[in-house]
Amino acid sequence: MTYDFLRNLGLEGELKGGFHGEWIGSGDILESITPIDGSVIGRIRQVTVEEYDQIAAHAHAAFLEWRMVPAPKRGEVVRQIGNALREHTEDLGKLVTLEMGKILPEGLGEVQEMIDICDFSVGLSRQLYGLTMHSERPMHRMYEQYHPLGVIGIISAFNFPVAVWSWNAAIAAVCGDAMLWKPSSQTPLTAIACTKIAARILEENGYDPAIMSLIIGRGSTVGDTMVKDRRIPLISATGSCEVGYRVGRIVGERLGRTILELGGNNAIIVSKEANLDLALRATLFGAVGTAGQRCTSTRRMIVHTDVFDTFRDRLIAAYEQIRIGNPLEEGTVMGPLVNKGAVRDMMNALPRITEEGGTILYGGEQLDLPGGCYVTPCIAEVRNEYQIVQEETFAPILYLIRYETLDDAIAYHNGVPQGLSSAIFTTNLLEAETFLSHMGSDCGIANVNIGTSGAEIGGAFGGEKETGGGRESGSDAWKAYMRRQTNTINWSPDLPLAQGITFGG
């Protein structure tokens, strides 16, 4: 099948997977396969290690010039990139859906997220504030400022193939950094499309397009090379906890910086005083959206015993209405998993639920549809301490857990290794405030009466524990992309020392 939007985005024929102002790539062919029907939709010539070095060198040279461009002018370029994304919203949204498998409204929403972070970054370009401090020494002025950091390595995952790049790239660009993007091998076409758009805008404004460079290649070769590269002061990596452990260790050994956005084992607490209609709607989007392949997907429902049976029955009835199929078709609620490996992971997890004592309440079947990547979402009743519940299976498996007291619910909620997103549904103010307090949720994101998915770009995004501790997107996350410097200016005729020290008589 041919798709007009591939042609519109310049993605026809054999493509090259490296960009530093020109497109290069002489390595093995990577085929982009859509999970919709298993067909090949693109062929990309990957980057070799030698070509990686060439791209990284060009990115560093571009950084040396870009850092001296005034931040508001950098913001103007990002504004234009955002407008270019607006022009291609429909084509890019369809491409995200085709290559990754999420339904079209989610694909379009992800492109909107790129546009939104560009808009946010334009304003940020005039707000890269430092502080002034009163010096203890007379006739001295002390302040701090933030300087561009360097070339930022961005490792993105398949589930948000363009949004996570933009969270990093738009912020880093206004901060004066260059970028080197290694996308998931599952979603190379979306990366090429975005890079082409950004490169055109940079060139039209007279700047080196290597500011936003790209490497598509094997993680074991060019990926490891980038992580070890001392020319890359910051690696921002989104992926599994296993990926994060490896990236954190390698970058830490060279005393580089990391922003790690890793696994989530996100839970919603449903109080006996909850609005069950709201809780049900939030659960459906959180657990079934993106076929359960968001880092913020709802994995666990911790439901008060007084409303457990009612909520369970309503949830099963809602799951029975879910339309599964081609995500490009209107009315589809859940598309395929990203590949057959993801299906195997889900099918391997299901027997472990019953082996540990849980009960499958609904779903969990592989469907006989083109491509072999379609499943029915699963609901299981479990105990929080089961080992399978402690892990994150990146698939639409939802665990239901009973609780009796709020203390128990919070203990269950926090009793997993991950700490990304969390929520409580309650109309009780005391419960809500307890959940948001020091003794409540231990996650980086905590919500009341909204679900675990769908974070806005205005807030810092990230989590604690094995989620990695990184923060991207809004608030003051921009500071991670800059180097902080404290400055003191002596405008007196003397040289007093701090702490009242006298030296040398």
Distance, in Å, from the CA atom of 72 to the CA atom of 63, rounded to the nearest integer, reads: 16
Over the Cα atoms of the chain, what is R_g?
24
**Residues pairing with 215 in the sheet:** 18
Element (H, E) at 165: helix 163-174
CA angle 245, 250, 253 (to 5 degrees): 120
Element (H, E) at 182: strand 178-182
User: Beta strands 23-24 and 18-19: pairing type?
Assistant: antiparallel
Token readout for 364 is: 């969990």
Distance, in Å, from the CA atom of 381 to the CA atom of 401, rounded to the nearest integer, reads: 6
Q: Are 179 and 168 in contact (CB under 8 A)?
A: yes
Q: Pick from 115, 239, 146: which is nearest to 478 by CA? A: 146
Token readout for 410 is: 């919070």
Identify the DSSP state of 291. G
Distance, in Å, from the CA atom of 462 to the CA atom of 237, rounded to the nearest integer, reads: 12
Catalytic residue among 118, 295, 373, 378: 295
Beta strands per DSSP E along 373-481: 378-381, 397-403, 418-419, 421-425, 445-448, 460-461, 464-465, 472-473
Token readout for 253 is: 């050994």
Q: Pick from 203, 186, 185, 191: which is nearest to 165 by CA? A: 191
Distance, in Å, from the CA atom of 351 to the CA atom of 390, rounded to the nearest integer, reads: 15
330 tagged catalytic: no
**Residues pairing with 403 in the sheet:** 304
Catalytic residue among 110, 113, 261, 466: 261
261 tagged catalytic: yes
CA angle 222, 223, 224 (to 5 degrees): 95
Q: Are 182 and 195 in contact (CB under 8 A)?
A: no
Token readout for 370 is: 């083109």
Catalytic residues: 261, 295
